[in-house]
Amino acid sequence: MSRKTMSRFAKAARILLATLREIFDEAAYARFLLRTRMTSSVEAYAAFRQEFEEAKTRRPKCC
């Protein structure tokens, strides 16, 4: 497999992972840590869920 093809596969895999991280809110948690200058911990995750839940539950999901 050529280097170009390999790099395309790697890029596709990176995008897929980024998409999954966004869908599963991992990216939102990472942004929260960045914004609040906290490191990942039980307390940080609890604070993230508290801030994030109301916004998330207001989002409609389709049928």
Partner 1 sequence: MNKSLSIVAWGIVGALGVVAVGVVAVRRGEPINALWLVVAATCCYALGYRFYSKFIAAKILALDALRATPAERLENGRDFLVTNKWVVFGHHFAAIAGPGPLVGPVLAAQFGYLPGTLWVLAGAVFAGCVQDFVILLFSVRRDGKSLTEMAKEEIGRVGGFVAYAAVIAILVILLAVAALIVVNALKDSPWGTFTIAMTIPIALLMGLYLRRIRPGKVLEVSVLGFFLVLLAIWGGQWASQNAAMARVFTLRAPSLAILIIIYGFAASALPVWLLLAPRDYLSTFVKLGTIGLLGIGIVVLHPTLHMPALTRFVDGSGPVFAGKIFPFAFITIACGAISGFHSLISSGTTPKLIARETETRMVGYGAMMAESAVAVMAIIAACVLQPGVYFAINSPAGVVGQTAAAATGTISSWGFPVTASDMQALAHAVGEQTLFNRTGGAPAFAVGMAHIFSQSLGGATVMALWYHFAVMFEALFILTILDAGTRVARFMIQDALGHIYKPLGRTSWYPSILATSGLVVGAWGYFLWQGVRDPLGGINSLWPLFGIANQLLATVALCVATTIIIKLHRARYAAVTLLPLAWLVAVTFTASWHKVLDPNPRVGFLAQARVLAAGPATSASAQLIFNNRLDAAVTAVLVVMVALVLIESVRQWVGVLSGGEESRVKEAPFVMTRLAEERG
Q: Which is nearer to partner 1, 6 or 20 (CB)?
A: 20
Does 4 participate in binding partner 1 (rule CB under 8 A)?
Answer: no
Q: Which is nearer to partner 1, 10 or 46 (CB)?
A: 46
Does 38 participate in binding partner 1 (rule CB under 8 A)?
Answer: no
Of the residues 1, 3, 5, 34, which one makes contact with partner 1 according to CB under 8 A? 34
Q: Which residues contact 28 (CB under 8 A, 6 or more apart)?
A: 22, 48, 52
- First vs last C-alpha separation in the chain: 42
